Structure formats: structure tokens, C-alpha cells
Amino acid sequence: MVLAVTLMGLPRKRPEISAAVLYVSMVALPMPVPEELEKSWDLADSMLSEGQFEEALSELRQAWPLCENDGQKVRTLRQAGDVGTAHGTEDQGSQKRHWQKALKSYKRALKIDPKNKETRRNMNSLLSMMDEKSITGGAGMQFFDEGNPTPMGLVAMVIAGMLLLTSIKLISDALQEDSENPLVSLEVSYVDDSGERVEGTIEIELFQDLAPVHVENFITHAQNFRYDFTIFHRVIDGFMIQGGDVDRQDGMGGYAANWYGYCNGESAASQSSCDQSQWTIPDEADNGLLHSPGMLAMAKTSAANTGGSQFYIVPTGSTPSHLDGVHTVFGQVVSGQAHVDAISLVVTGNTDSDDDTSGDKPIDDVRLVHVTVNE
């Protein structure tokens, strides 16, 4: 089998982490702001003023794991919304895409703190500009937004009264949205420290622009139901939780979902010369994404290009930076991090195997019941 996953000699200590989006008063941030987070906010703001929009969003994305409370998350999300708003104003050709993503950031911020006046003020300003340009909020069949008809809602009313003026092409054009990062939902089941089995969902955003091969590979496995009813076979408190072995479930198996030109880490001319159980994917570890709490990464052997199906998620308090640039990070938890943290604390120590990692296997199975792809 391909993936005798050996993330060996990795620290089990627990540092702290966070993220970034515009200004908020100290009243909204009762806790001291981490110095690195403050620097990221300032750097993103400086990039915004210089018109470096993509760089500013990248900085905020890297800063997100540094956020320690809701106030800091709201500020980070709002700053991302402000960057997207400015980007759309500057880049007329892709204005719709930038503004829809900015609106999504504002709404995520308000979901955390509905009473945040600055966020709501900035969002309402963006909505006014979008309304002037007849740009939808990117929510598909959304006819009303907070009680007011959206541009698509107005179109729907016209269609209802003038059906003869409607065509299939106009409808498809009206419903067309710009692509965004896909989300996947991992339904998990585990036994917590009370001895009760808990069921929950971990939602993860996949960074398809930064790790396209890894994202495609993960989605294909999920859509083919290969991850369903597998387990997290290796759990190390203060480090990571690892699963995704689709054929052995013990860390010694797993293979790529598609043929990507690599056979057990070696470049191969054709797939006919390589058994599917040996299919692996090329590394994309130099994409700038770092290991921090909530990040999803590809497990592999110590050799290059040996990833297949196994993956791991970093719990709160873990920053295995020695894996940066070695293992490909390709996603981030957007909800359900509490389940990741709880799983990292389950009791381990199954010693039925001679494998030196068997002591990291949970006593009670940590199950990955089903993965849903929400593209």
C-alpha cells in the first residue's frame, strides 16, 4: 500500500492562533489583540491603500487562525469585506465576483455579531452599490434580502406578469453565479470524555485556486463515497487528527482518486503501468498556506508526491510549522472546530499492532460517517 503515513517526531505542545478584516473599537475587543494579528490587520490595511487587493485578502486568510474571540473574527471578516468592496470598485470587469464575495464576508461577520454597527453600515453601503448595478447577492434563487426585494426578486416579479418575454437563456443568465471555493461537510461520530458518543458536523472550505489537484482529489473521493464509514485512525493530542485511509483504515493504505501521473511518488508515463492502489498526487505544498489550527492538509510518507486519500486536521493550540512546505494544506475549518478539538482529546492507545503508531489509535472508533460536497 502507498501511505504508511509517518508524520514522525512532531511536537505535541499547544501554541495559540488567529485571523483578520478592518477596524473595530477596543470596546468590541475586551481581550488583548495578539501582536501577530494586529500586524496582519495593519499590513492588510496598508496593502488595501496601495491597491494590492489579492495580497490583502491572502494576508487576512493567513491571519484568520490567529483570532481568539468573536470580536477579532468580526473585525477580520469586515476588513475582508472592505477589501472586496474596494477591489470591485477598481476592477470593473470582475466587479460582480468581488462584490459578491465581499457581501459574503460582511454577512458572516453579522452572523457572529448581528449588532455590529460598523459592519452593517459597510454592508448596506455595498448593497446600495450592488443595487445600482443590478448585481445580485450571489445567493442563487434569492428574491428578498432582509425584507427588501433583490434585483433577482424584481426580475421574478416581471417574469410572473410577462411569461411570454421570458426565455430559458435569460433565466440561466440570471441564475449564473461566479464560482467560489467549495465547502465540504464531514459528519463525524466519537466518544467524548464523558463516555457518551457524540455526533457532529465539521464544515471545511477547500482552497481550489491554491491547491487544485488536492481539492479535486478530495472532492472526487467524497463524491464516490469512499470516505463514508471510514475512521480517524491516528489522533495525537496537541498535534493533529488523521483519517481518510479508504482501503485499510489503519494508515497503511489509500490512493489518489484520479490518475495524476504519479505511481507511488514516482512520475509515470501512463496509468496502465501502475495499479490503482499505487496512484498518488503531486505535492502542492508551496502554495503559501501554513499549518495552523483548523487547517486541512494531505498526509503522505516522507517521500515527495505520495499523497493519496489520507488527510489530517490541526486542532486548536497546534501549530506544526515544521510541516509547512512539506505537506500540502488545502482547506480550513469554517465551523465545527470544537469537534476537531474534542476528537484530539479522545482516549488512544490500542496496542494490538506492532506498528509504532498504533498507540495513537483511538480506543473507541472516531468515525467519518459521510462527506457532503456543497459546491
Q: How far, CA to CA in Å, does 314 sit from each of 37, 121, 293, 329?
A: 19, 35, 5, 10
Q: What are phi and psi of 136, to 5 degrees?
A: -75, 170
What pLDDT score does 271 carry?
Answer: 87
**What was the pLDDT predicted at 15?**
43
DSSP annotation string for 306-339: -B-S-EEEPPTT---GGGTTTSPEEEEEEE-HHH
What's residue 39's pLDDT?
A: 93
pLDDT of residue 134: 82
Residue-level pLDDT at 363: 95
DSSP codes joined into one string, 162-204: -GGG--HHHHHHHH-------EEEEEEEEE-TTS-EEEEEEEE
pLDDT at res. 156:
60
What pLDDT was estimated at residue 349?
A: 87
Residue 84's contacts (CB-CB under 8 Å, 6 or more residues apart) are 53, 57, 98, 99, 101, 102, 103, 105
pLDDT tens by residue, 186-206 = 999 999 988 999 999 999 999
pLDDT for 230: 96
Residue 124: its pLDDT value, please? 85
The predicted structure's pLDDT at residue 152: 54
- Structural domains of the chain in order of their starting residue, each with its CATH number: 26-175 (1.25.40.10), 183-374 (2.40.100.10)
Q: Which pLDDT score, from 0 to 100, does residue 159 have? A: 65
Low-confidence ranges of the chain (pLDDT < 50): 1-29, 139-147, 166-178, 351, 353, 356
